[in-house]
Amino acid sequence: MTYDHGVFERALEMVYNVTGNATYLSYLKTGVDNIMNSAGTLLDYDLDYYTLDDVRLGPEFIYMYLKTGTAKYKTAADTLRLQLQTQTRNKEGGFWHRSTYPNQMWLDGLYMQAPFYTQYTSFFQPTNTTAYNDIVKQFDLIEKYTRNSTNSLLKHGYDESKVAVWADPVTGESPEVWDRALGWYLMALLDVLDYFPASHAGATTLKNYFIRAVAGVKAAADPTTGGWWLVMSEPWPGHAGNYIETSGTAMFVYAMLKGIRKGYISKADYFPTAEKAYKLLLSDYVVEDSSGLLNWEGTVNVGSLGSNGTFEYYISVAEKENDFKGLGPFIYASIEYEQMTST
């Protein structure tokens, strides 16, 4: 079980939904079936490890259950919901990102758990107000402790205990804005809002978090290329070793286009920025090889607060060709772009 497969399986779901081509549904089903047995018991899964990354696979379990009615998919989803029920939390109620990172909340973790948590509640526990309140709390804490009030960009994470090597001794926040972490965060907000009850006061809170953060992202776009730097915090854009990174750029394009479609932000304000970045990805990072196949380039392999969290750390990580963490969001963005420009 790895979360990047969940990211790409979401792309297969989206392509199937817009094309009706059963091949994509077959690919999705095969991927999901490969990580569970016929009873729905998850393979290569350790509940006691308590990593939010595992929960990213949950939305596809729900999707397959709703498409097929097969009980094993609901059983697998129930397992991940149990994990959230017992996941270790910090003193204010925020999920630890993983048992090996005590008291730490990362932006990544919001995308890993919150869309599943919201979907599961919406479909199977729709009157569970406590769960909806808890979902909003996770975003509240990230906003409280990682957002820069000047530019509205959010740092990668924070340590409530302030003992991590990277933690600010006063605020506990990590030192840098990493593009993919911020991309995870924006996508989490949008995907949660798809299932969050509009009647709940938290819906407005989440929309406002999105509007504020996406405005900061728009302002941070590189004026020359239209893309976004791997490390977005000052003074690093344009600095030696930094580069335009494609997973974060694709996530930001998707977020802007979906935000426009949902009516959270205006097309006049955001579409030109999204389109410029999308065309950059198409022209420079979708590359045909000698056999005529297409490769996805420019995505950094990982970025972890299991490090020292410095600029030097982030730029030291190698890029990975055809990385699902970039390719998946590029497909999300492509679907949004084609729907928006075909009408």
pLDDT of residue 280: 98
pLDDT of residue 110: 98
CA atoms of 233 and 330, how far apart (whole Å) = 23
Quick check: is 164 in a domain?
Answer: yes
Quick check: is 75 in a domain?
Answer: no
pLDDT of residue 89: 97
Sorting pLDDT into bands at 50, 70 and 90, what band is 337? Answer: very high
Question: How many structural domains does the chain have?
Answer: 1
pLDDT of residue 212: 98
pLDDT over threshold 90, residue 343: no
pLDDT of residue 330: 98
Sorting pLDDT into bands at 50, 70 and 90, what band is 30? Answer: very high
pLDDT over threshold 80, residue 1: no
Sorting pLDDT into bands at 50, 70 and 90, what band is 331? Answer: very high
Q: What is the largest CA-CA distance in the chain?
A: 55
pLDDT over threshold 90, residue 83: yes
Q: Which amino acid is at 100?
A: T
Q: State which residues form the domain around 129.
A: 88-341
pLDDT of residue 19: 96
pLDDT of residue 101: 96
CATH code at position 214: 1.50.10.10
pLDDT over threshold 80, residue 48: yes
Sorting pLDDT into bands at 50, 70 and 90, what band is 108? Answer: very high
Looking at the chain, the whole-number percentage of residues with pLDDT higher than 70 is: 99
Sorting pLDDT into bands at 50, 70 and 90, what band is 173? Answer: very high
Query: What is the chain's mean pLDDT, rounded?
Result: 97
Q: Which residues contact 224 (CB under 8 A, 6 or more apart)?
A: none
CA atoms of 159 and 257, how far apart (whole Å) = 32
Residue carrying structure tokens 């758990």: 113
Quick check: is 247 in a domain?
Answer: yes
Q: Is 297 helix (H, G, I), strand (E, B) or coil?
A: coil
pLDDT over threshold 90, residue 118: yes
Quick check: is 66 in a domain?
Answer: no
pLDDT over threshold 80, residue 129: yes
pLDDT of residue 124: 98
pLDDT of residue 25: 97
Answer for the pair 179, 325: CB distance below 8 angstroms, yes or no.
Answer: no
| Residue of 194, 168, 139, 158 whose CA lies nearest to 14 | 194
Answer for the pair 184, 110: CB distance below 8 angstroms, yes or no.
Answer: yes
Residue 331 CA from chain centroid, whole number: 14
